[in-house]
Structure 1
């Protein structure tokens, strides 16, 4: 599967999960995505990919695809075995009952072909095959995690009726291999052993058998497979041994088998494969979906002139945040400290990060231009709650080097010290690496 289809599959899975269970915690991921000078579609896909790596969907998809590849190889080997068994079963007796052998070789092929065509035309809105529903049932039994379970429904939702083409390609590929294997064994046995042929019927007369033989052999005769003569057909009500009679029936049997079995499956495989390749390239996200419309408002680029198109024009990206300096990327920030506090004059003070807007602005800035050295000033009179610790961790992640500076010996100092944070004072900003 192409990488583009894999990422679209993950995107649709995230969309389905969020539609049912609510939004993921995605503020920091959105910030990373918004810093990319690319189109809206690419930002939505990148966000879904990052979320998938966090919640296990990405690895689950890889496991599913790996399992499909392994199953595919095992089924190929099984197809070769089934094809060989088909021939040995049909030629298990000598003399060979012609029409019974023909039914043995092509009977299951025609039955499965009718079932597949029925699924193809009457279950198109359900993916075009009952196999997809079996797959969905198995996935629900094997995977307990709800997010992983949504991979298969998302696959069906994304690809829709196009799934019937890939299912048709796979099924006809397997039958092509089965019948090819049967044909090879058939040719080898006819070439190395003597077989006599006969037909038996309680209801049909010799004339009816002659007409049936001509009807079945007409199309193969156009491709060069000769028809047995009428006299030979009549005489074959009982097995005869002359070589020309054996050869005539063997060629007829091979021609019917190739035209109504192998050739049918091969042509259907090619049609389904080409149609799938063409239709899969037209799969796109539906940006008119209300959920994507809301998401588009939150994935506004941090660049001032990004054009939301699949192919971006030539633009020079400009940063909308004026606080970013052209210096060495060395900053001092104050987190949850009253604005009456005076920072050291020798340190490049970035600002007070006490409001949601200020914190969002610095995270956006550092996403675009990570700090080389960042010193985070903390008032140890404030308790180290989960919110402030999470924010400090985000600052650390967006800086090449970071340290914590306790500006006082507050009443929560012991709790802060128990966290074993990397500490420093403003002199650290002036030191070399």
Structure 2
């Protein structure tokens, strides 16, 4: 029943989460030893004969039957909230930067300081990011470090460090860390400028500012060249740029007309849009497409430690060799029904550690019920795991034996594999039957009094 419910959820999960979950399981087993995965491997072997898909299916089963699945989702939620908080803080910083750029000397604005305040740090960090995109360099930003720190604060708890380590390891192996850092950084700067530009428009619309260039060493020609260079891209977007004479008149504290002041205000807004917002927004889109392409090409690397050992268990050799001999005649022995069913059957019976005096198969076994034979050893259990694919399973046990921890583990594995597992106890004293009843009650397993009662049960369920 558990497998039936886990499969849809694993299909609904995106490729990033599926591979992240598999990496978390791999690292957990590498740190703390292999997990009990017999039922997980059996569930995975129902997938097509592809090692990558079976590794992902095994990891999905193990994560969904442990707290790891919820830990990963909690860490993902914490990462989203920390990213939202980071971008919100960047937006507030953009508002503050815009207000500070226009707050110099009351209503008199030094254009050089305003441009450097609004675009200087952005230009420096943008160039650093471009340099980090070069092959062989490992990019990192203060914003990405702050994001990881906030995520750890929001998603603290057991396995949170494992979730972060698996996420970073997966991105690094997929070469997706650079676009991920770019999304964090460019998203923050885009948010800052999306808040700074309306703030500039609001302040320039509600207060009277005078704009000028101030210098001690430079000549007016330097500001004319700089103004034209910075205004070239805003001019292409429709923002006005003052002419050379107007630029020269704006050097120093000489009074200029209101029309020139309006041009300077639009020139400043245009510079922020053209040289600040547009590069960051373009880089954000590029990083998003880049990251999406990397995620689309995520692949499991079977050669990694922890996954190399799974090849034989998830992709057994006998599944890839094909048919190596003709099948037995159709009329010989009932044991021929022990062959692995190609499709799910309605019902099956299995004898578990029956004494030699108890005959098998049951004489009154209804037609159409698959006989899985006896299960008396570890090899028999492995055979049953490969063959079991039934909606209803009756496990016939010898009540003269005392159920131990291995029996309880085997029952739990069968319960996770078969949607409807029921137990029939044969022989045994009243005291032994009571022990069996207590064991089955602790595991929430149903017991039937006879084979006929179970046959009636599966018949009614089939009609339902």
* TM-score (structure 1 length as normaliser): 0.82
Distance 2:265 2:343 in 1: 85
1:121-156 per-residue CA deviation (whole Å, 9 max, x = no partner) reads 59844x6546555666676776453x4422222222
SS in 2 for 1:150: helix
Q: Which residue of 1 aligns with 2:293?
A: 278
Pair 1:265 & 2:284 matched = no
Q: Which moved more, 1:327-336 or 1:46-55?
A: 327-336
Query: How much has 1:430 moved relative to structure 2?
Result: 4.4
Once the two structures are TM-superposed, the CA of residue 101 in structure 1 deviates from its matched residue by 1.7
Which residues in structure 2 correspond to 1:293-312 (within 5 Å)? 293-300=308-315
- For structure 1, list consecutive stretches of 5 or more residues without a partner in the other structure: 308-318
| Within-5 A mapping of 1:14-413 | 14-37=25-48, 39-92=50-103, 93-117=106-130, 119-121=132-134, 124-125=137-138, 128-129=140-141, 143-145=156-158, 147-160=159-172, 161-236=175-250, 237-289=252-304, 291-300=306-315, 321-322=338-339, 329=346, 331-342=348-359, 345-347=363-365, 350-366=372-388, 368-371=389-392, 374-380=394-400, 382-397=401-416, 398=418, 400-409=420-429, 412-413=432-433
**Is the alpha carbon distance of 1:326 and 1:20 closer, same or farther for their aligned partners in structure 2, counting shifts above 3 Å?**
closer
**How big is the alpha-carbon RMSD for the aligned residues of Structure 1 and Structure 2?**
3.5
Distance change (3 Å), C-alpha of 1:154 and 1:415 = same
Q: 1:111 to 1:334 in 2, by over 3 A?
A: same
Structure-2 separation of matches of 1:225 and 1:306: 72
Structure 2 CA distance for partners of 1:31 and 1:350, relative to 1, 3 Å: closer
Distance in structure 1 (CA, Å) of the matches to 2:177 and 2:34: 28
- Relative to structure 1, is the Cα distance of residues 42 and 321 closer, same or farther in structure 2, using a 3 angstrom cutoff? farther
* Contact persistence 2:97–2:196 (CA under 8 A): yes
Distance verdict in 2 for CA 1:239–1:128, change over 3 Å: same
SS at match of 1:370: strand
Deviations 1:63-110 (A, max 9, x none): 122223333333444343332222222112212122122222223323
Alignment match, 1:425 = 450
Distance 1:81 1:248, change over 3 A: same
Separation in 1, partners of 2:337, 2:187? 55
Q: In structure 2, do the counterparts of structure 1 residues 383 and 90 end up closer, same or farther at CA, with 3 Å as the change threshold?
A: same
- Return closer, same or farther for 1:242/1:94 CA change in 2, 3 Å cut-off: same
TM-score, scaled relative to structure 2:
0.77
The count of corresponding residues between Structure 1 and Structure 2 is 417
CA contact 1:136–1:153 (8 Å) conserved in 2 = no
2-side partners of 1:406 and 1:171: how far apart?
Answer: 69
Alignment check: 8 A CA contact 2:231 2:271 kept = yes
Greater displacement, 54-63 / 71-80:
71-80
Q: Which runs of 5+ in 2 are unaligned?
A: 1-11, 323-335, 442-446
SS, match of residue 405 in structure 1: strand
Secondary structure of the residue aligned to 1:424 is: coil
Query: Residues 403 and 439 of structure 2 are in contact (CA less than 8 Å); yes or no, is this contact kept in structure 1?
Result: no
Match of 2:328 in 1: none
